Amino acid sequence: MSGYPGRVTEIFDQNGLRMGRIDYSGTVNSACLEYVPEAEVGSFVIVHAGFALSVLDEEEAKKTFELWDELLAQAESESRDKD
């Protein structure tokens, strides 16, 4: 599964569901944590359509951040080459 990891900063109950606030490098959204009961504050999760679907360890999250940085740098380079 691929996606941009977010760090769980808070866990709370909403209408009987386990929810979390997820920080994606400064952008914070809420997501349902029902499918990842092992997630805790400080965990990295992958979210799709408002549901956390998997938990990543910090090393996996770091590798994913590095890949995204490489993709963004490549896209910027290609954009400059077209101008």
In tens, the pLDDT along 38-47 reads 999 999 999 9
| 39 found inside a domain | yes
Q: Any bridge partners for residue 31, and if so which?
A: 20
- Decide if 49 is inside a domain: yes
Q: Are 36 and 20 in contact (CB under 8 A)?
A: no
Q: How many domains does the chain have?
A: 1
For residue 51, is it within any domain?
yes
Tokens read off for 64: 């994913």
CB count within 10 Å of CB 8 equals 21
Tokens encoding 49: 């359509």
Residue 1 in domain: no
**Quick one: pLDDT at residue 2?**
57
Structural domain contains residue 23 = yes
pTM of the model: 0.78
In a domain, 20, yes or no: yes
How far apart are the C-alpha atoms of 83 and 72, rounded to whole Å?
Answer: 17
CATH number where 60 lies: 2.30.30.140
What are the two backbone dihedrals, phi and then psi, of residue 17, each rounded to the nearest 5 degrees?
A: -110, 145
Under 8 Å CB-to-CB from 59, ≥6 apart: which residues? none
Structural domain range at position 52: 6-82
- The answer to whether residue 67 is domain-embedded is yes
